[in-house]
Chain A
Amino acid sequence: MKLSAVLFLLLRVGVGGLFVWAGVSKVGDPFRFSQQILNYHLVDQPVAASMALYLPWLEIVCGLSLAVGRWRRGAVAVLSVLIVIFTLALLSAWWRRLDLDCGCFAAGGTPGSLGWRVLQDLLILAALVTLAVRNRMLARLAPPAAPAS
């Protein structure tokens, strides 16, 4: 196995594991996560409640999918969209000088460090883009499927 393949495997499992951890840390207390979402003042209660119930599971499912390598293109696409939305929400909170717990991880209540959280999100997005490019390259290198006889 080439070194680059090992590095990409580690990156894929690492990013997938990170999302699984993020999801698991929030899934035990959707009420608290809904409060964290409401603190951004971007959505109303019904939307916040739906997001609090759904997003942690989406993170877990897509993180697992990415880590085990099954449907990884779909997982990278969904997680990229999620991280872009999270980053935009953080940027808007930062812009409005809101002092809040970002809700990134249940135990990660670090008010006042939104700039650092944005940087973290951008690093994760860069890792996801790298994986998407790698997936595309692998798909191009793969031999075409044999025609059905």
Chain B
Amino acid sequence: MGLRSLSKEICLLCLLALLPAVAAALWHPRRPAFVTPPLGPGEVHGRTARMWGPRVLWVDARAGREFDKGHVRGALPLSEDQWDQQLKAVIEAWDESRIVVVYCASDLCRSAHDVADRLRREMQWNDVYVLQGGWAQWQRMLP
């Protein structure tokens, strides 16, 4: 019962754990990605946005129907279709300490980028970002 048998036990245990871990890496429905897609211009990772905490002013650029089904807690709707009606609430919620994070359904939609561009251009707000992966990615991060 020396160091050699101890090393053998450790190796066996580590190998035993490796088998289901490899299976999980291949087939688990909620397996993590090994590589994070690089951020596009003006984009922010959900993890970073979460770290910013209450400083974030969430803006949902999806259509109203999608917003009603579910949205980031505290998010305000602001789509280009209803810009004039919805912008007032966003302006009221905003102050200089806030960081605006806009999202749409996923990486495939452009509306979040369009809304973010318009906020930067028309409101002259500098801290405006687009959530990478959008609502789909954010939902994956939820418990």
Q: Do A and B come from one complex?
A: yes
- From residue 64 to 115 of chain A, which have CB atoms closer than 8 A to chain B? 65, 71, 73-75, 77-78, 99, 106, 109
How far, in whole Å, are A29 and B140 apart by their CA atoms in the complex?
Answer: 10
* Residue A30 is within 8 A (CB to CB) of chain B in the complex: yes
How far, in whole Å, are A49 and B34 apart by their CA atoms in the complex?
Answer: 6
CB distance from A83 to the nearest CB of B (A): 15
Are A31 and B32 interface neighbours, CB within 8 A?
A: yes
How far, in whole Å, are A45 and B36 apart by their CA atoms in the complex?
Answer: 7
How far, in whole Å, are A65 and B13 apart by their CA atoms in the complex?
Answer: 8
Are B9 and A75 interface neighbours, CB within 8 A?
A: yes
With contact pairs A32-B143, A35-B47, A142-B1 given, residues A74 and B6 touching in the complex (Cβ less than 8 Å)? yes
Select which of A38, A45, A50, A78 is within 8 A of B13 by beta carbon. A78
B13-38, CB under 8 A of A: which get 1 and which 0? 11011101100110010111111100
- Please, which residues of chain B bring their CB within 8 A of the CB of A50? 34
CB distance from B132 to the nearest CB of A (A): 13
Give the contact-size bracket for chain A: 35 or more
Are B9 and A52 interface neighbours, CB within 8 A?
A: no
* Residue A58 is within 8 A (CB to CB) of chain B in the complex: yes
Are A52 and B32 interface neighbours, CB within 8 A?
A: yes
- Please, which residues of chain B bring their CB within 8 A of the CB of A61? 13, 16-17
The interface centre, meaning the residue of A45, A46, A65 with most chain B CB atoms within 10 A of its CB, is A45
* Residue B51 is within 8 A (CB to CB) of chain A in the complex: yes
Are A77 and B6 interface neighbours, CB within 8 A?
A: yes
- Please, which residues of chain B bring their CB within 8 A of the CB of A22? none
Which chain B residue lies CB-closest to A58? B17
CB distance from B14 to the nearest CB of A (A): 7
Besides the contacts A32-B143, A73-B6, A74-B13, what 8 more A-B pairs have beta carbons closer than 8 Å? A30-B31, A32-B30, A52-B32, A53-B32, A54-B18, A58-B13, A71-B12, A78-B13
Q: 7 interchain pairs (CB within 8 A)?
A: A34-B32, A38-B47, A39-B47, A48-B32, A50-B34, A53-B21, A74-B10
Q: Interface on A for B, CB 8 Å cutoff?
A: 27-35, 38-39, 45-46, 48-50, 52-54, 57-58, 60-62, 65, 71, 73-75, 77-78, 99, 106, 109, 139, 142
